[in-house]
């Protein structure tokens, strides 16, 4: 029996994951516990939870893997420093962060002073961890594997070939060239300053036209061998000190674009400035440029490897718009993107890479992302009995009816699902809290807010009642897998398998008017396919809604209000109580806000 604990530490999206004999037991992002988006630092709480959830002790861990190798590409780093002579603060900042990652063992001794630590500490290359997280969790016996990121271990992009229980890197693009840096610079220029705001640019892009392609091609040039390079005069990351905070709390990044960038595009938008057509067109052009570079790389790799399977990882692997076009713009037909493609997923990747080095046994594919916190029936009963009833007594404005599956009004699950579907048809906004929490940035039916996709006012209702976010951002549909081809324009029959909401496809023209709440301005939807095997009650809910409405989907957005997705029952109830959510379903309990 072999336990491997993988961690992503002292970087954004700190996380931990535990595997036993190649099987992923659990995984957790630190932000879900500390309630800080993209939480950095040492993933102490995630580590504690993974160990507790598995009902083992720290001294039973055989290996601890870290998704970074500070010694990787050392000579290349030294040569770059000698040749380019970057800002001294840049060097000191990078050195301090590498020191923290190198001293992971000391961190364990510091945070677990009373525990015996027998585990061997293994450092795994950043991009190899990314590649492993995608390939080994995929269903493919042979596959091209790609990691596209900001930077990690002095590289931004890596690719290789997975065969059986072996994975080899056969190419990289090194610092300072990075599609992640390109997209981040555009994101900051457009007035979205927070770490991880790139998805806002992706959501804004369909409102514009790619009118700035000449300027984009000034920033990024493509090569015949599939590689790309940045025109460095437009970026600051090679010549000036950019403040970066990875230590604790939320990550903070300074601006990546230079004064020449401003000369090229004009005045940057500030955070609260109005978004005008120029900003929309720049967003559209940036997405178009990213896709050109991405598909240029993929088409070259297909020629090199000659198979139709592709696994994608890295922060840019979350670009669901590009992912949805792969089978159209390249010869790849079978595409797998694991649910935590970004740096959080590196914790699983580093552990799986080590497992496949010490064992000839290939791990099982990951078809469900439900690897996180859960609460049993007794915990739910106790919470409702104490916390919910106390809250209603103390807050006169919080008038709640509490129902339970098995009582007179809801005799069984079938009645529960029928009741919730009737609420959906009435235009209610419902918090849906079931089973284990999702792994990765997407809510996939266990920590979700759901509503009726047919309601043309639902986007405005959700933003006003709950989300309080930019109006241009779309909401996603969760769709019965067997019905996808009737509603979406797919490039290939294998495109109907999108369990982790990592691809965007056009909705069929004649169907768009039927589901306006999940149809983006360009007629697309960010798809999540749902099956009974992997999604259980959530599938049966959508199936019931389909039987009642002839629409095989519901609107699904993350259960949160400008915070990390809720993890605990308490966080779910707090979000329900402070917003204007109509109903909260926690396992077999239904909390109805009286109108």
Contacts of residues 385-393 at CB distance under 8 Å and 24 or more positions apart, as own/partner, are: 387/570, 387/573, 388/573, 388/591, 391/573, 391/577
Alpha-carbon distances, residue 376 vs 383, 402, 503 (angstroms): 11, 18, 33
Q: Is the model's pLDDT at 337 over the cut of 80?
A: yes
Q: What is the mean pLDDT of the segment spanning 281-293?
A: 98
Q: Are 554 and 401 in contact (CB under 8 A)?
A: no
pLDDT confidence bin for 103, thresholds 50/70/90: confident
Q: How many helices (H) and strands (E) does the chain have?
A: 23, 23
Identify whether 176 is preceded by a cis peptide bond (ω within 30 of 0).
Answer: yes
Nearest to 491 by CA among 519, 524, 539: 524
Distance from C-alpha of 216 to C-alpha of 202, rounded to nearest angstrom = 16
- In this prediction, residue 469 carries a pLDDT of 84
Q: What is the mean pLDDT of the segment spanning 388-416?
A: 89
Q: What is the mean pLDDT of the segment spanning 273-280?
A: 97
Q: What is the mean pLDDT of the segment spanning 357-370?
A: 95
Q: Are 67 and 7 in contact (CB under 8 A)?
A: yes
Q: Which domains can be identified in the chain, with CATH numbers?
A: 173-337 (3.30.420.40), 377-593 (3.90.870.20)
This prediction's pTM: 0.94
Query: At residue 91, what are phi and psi to the nearest 5 degrees?
Result: -65, -45
Alpha-carbon distances, residue 40 vs 6, 30, 181, 571 (angstroms): 16, 8, 19, 21
Q: What is the mean pLDDT of the segment spanning 120-146?
A: 98
Pairing between β-strand 553-558 and β-strand 476-480 as defined by DSSP bridges: antiparallel
pLDDT confidence bin for 397, thresholds 50/70/90: confident
Q: How many CB atoms lie within 10 A of CB 492?
A: 14
Q: What is the pLDDT of residues 209-257, one digit of tens each?
A: 999 999 999 999 999 999 999 999 999 988 776 666 655 678 878 899 9
Strand partners of residue 592 = 401, 583
- In this prediction, residue 98 carries a pLDDT of 53
Distance from C-alpha of 518 to C-alpha of 2, rounded to nearest angstrom = 44
Distance from C-alpha of 444 to C-alpha of 526, rounded to nearest angstrom = 12
Q: Is the model's pLDDT at 99 over the cut of 80?
A: no
Q: What is the pLDDT of residues 171-183, one digit of tens each?
A: 999 999 999 999 9
Q: What is the pLDDT of residues 158-205, one digit of tens each?
A: 999 999 999 999 999 999 999 999 999 999 999 999 999 999 999 999
Across the chain, mean pLDDT equals: 93
Q: What is the pLDDT of residues 443-492, one digit of tens each?
A: 999 999 999 999 999 988 898 878 888 889 999 999 999 999 999 999 98
- In this prediction, residue 250 carries a pLDDT of 81
- In this prediction, residue 239 carries a pLDDT of 75
- In this prediction, residue 79 carries a pLDDT of 59
Helices 126-135 and 346-358 cross at an angle (nearest 10°) of 80
Q: How many CB atoms lie within 10 A of CB 549?
A: 17
């Amino acid at each position: 029996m072999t336990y491997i604990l993988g961690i992503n530490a002292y970087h954004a999206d700190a996380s931990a994951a535990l595997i036993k004999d190649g099987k992923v037991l659990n995984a957790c992002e630190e932000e879900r516990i500390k309630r800080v988006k993209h939480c950095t630092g040492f993933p102490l709480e995630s580590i504690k939870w993974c160990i507790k959830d598995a009902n083992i002790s720290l001294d039973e861990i055989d290996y601890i893997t870290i998704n970074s190798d500070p010694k990787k590409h050392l000579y290349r780093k030294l040569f770059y420093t000698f040749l380019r002579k970057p800002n001294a603060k840049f060097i000191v900042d990078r050195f301090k962060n590498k020191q923290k990652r190198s001293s992971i063992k000391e961190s364990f001794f510091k945070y677990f002073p009373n525990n015996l630590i027998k585990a061997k500490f293994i450092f795994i290359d950043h991009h190899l961890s990314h590649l492993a997280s995608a390939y080994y969790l995929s269903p493919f016996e042979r596959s091209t594997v790609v990691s596209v990121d900001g930077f990690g271990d002095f590289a931004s992009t890596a690719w290789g070939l997975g065969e059986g229980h072996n994975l080899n890197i056969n190419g990289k693009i090194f610092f300072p060239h990075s599609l992640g840096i390109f997209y981040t610079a555009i994101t900051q220029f457009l007035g979205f300053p927070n770490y991880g705001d790139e998805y806002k640019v992706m959501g804004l892009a369909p409102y514009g036209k790619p009118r700035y392609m000449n300027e984009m091609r000034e920033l990024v040039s493509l090569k015949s061998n599939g590689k790309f390079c940045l025109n460095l005069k437009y970026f600051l990351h090679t010549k000036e000190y950019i403040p970066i905070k990875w230590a604790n709390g939320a990550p903070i990044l300074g601006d990546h674009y230079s004064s020449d960038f401003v000369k090229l595009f004009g005045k940057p938008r500030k955070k609260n400035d109005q978004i005008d057509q120029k900003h929309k067109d720049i967003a559209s052009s940036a997405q178009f440029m990213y896709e050109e570079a991405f598909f240029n790389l993929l088409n070259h790799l297909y020629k090199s490897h000659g198979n139709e399977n592709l696994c994608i990882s890295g922060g840019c692997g979350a670009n669901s718009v590009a992912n949805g076009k792969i089978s159209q713009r390249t010869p790849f037909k079978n595409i797998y993107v694991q649910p935590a493609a970004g740096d959080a997923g590196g914790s699983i990747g580093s552990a799986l890479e080590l497992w496949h080095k010490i064992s000839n046994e290939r791990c099982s594919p990951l078809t469900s992302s439900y690897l996180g916190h859960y609460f049993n029936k007794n915990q739910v009963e106790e919470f409702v009995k104490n916390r919910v009833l106390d809250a209603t007594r103390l807050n006169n404005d919080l008038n709640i009816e509490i129902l339970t599956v098995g009582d007179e009004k809801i005799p069984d699950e079938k009645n529960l699902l029928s009741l919730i579907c009737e609420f959906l048809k009435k235009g209610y906004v419902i918090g849906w809290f079931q089973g284990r929490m999702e792994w990765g940035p997407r809510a996939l039916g266990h920590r979700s807010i759901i509503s009726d996709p047919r309601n043309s006012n639902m986007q405005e209702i959700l933003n006003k009642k709950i989300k309080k976010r930019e109006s241009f951002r779309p909401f996603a549909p969760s769709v019965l897998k067997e019905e996808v081809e009737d509603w979406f324009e797919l490039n290939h029959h294998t495109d109907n398998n999108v369990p982790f909401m990592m691809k965007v496809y056009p909705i069929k023209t004649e169907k768009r008017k039927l589901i306006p709440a999940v149809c983006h301005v360009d007629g697309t939807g960010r798809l999540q396919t749902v099956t009974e095997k992997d999604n259980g009650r959530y599938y049966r809910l959508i199936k019931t809604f389909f039987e009642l409405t002839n629409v095989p989907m519901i609107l699904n957005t993350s259960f949160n209000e400008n915070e990390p997705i809720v993890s605990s029952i308490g966080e779910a109830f707090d979000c329900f109580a402070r917003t204007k959510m109509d109903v909260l379903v926690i396992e077999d309990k239904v909390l109805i806000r009286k109108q």
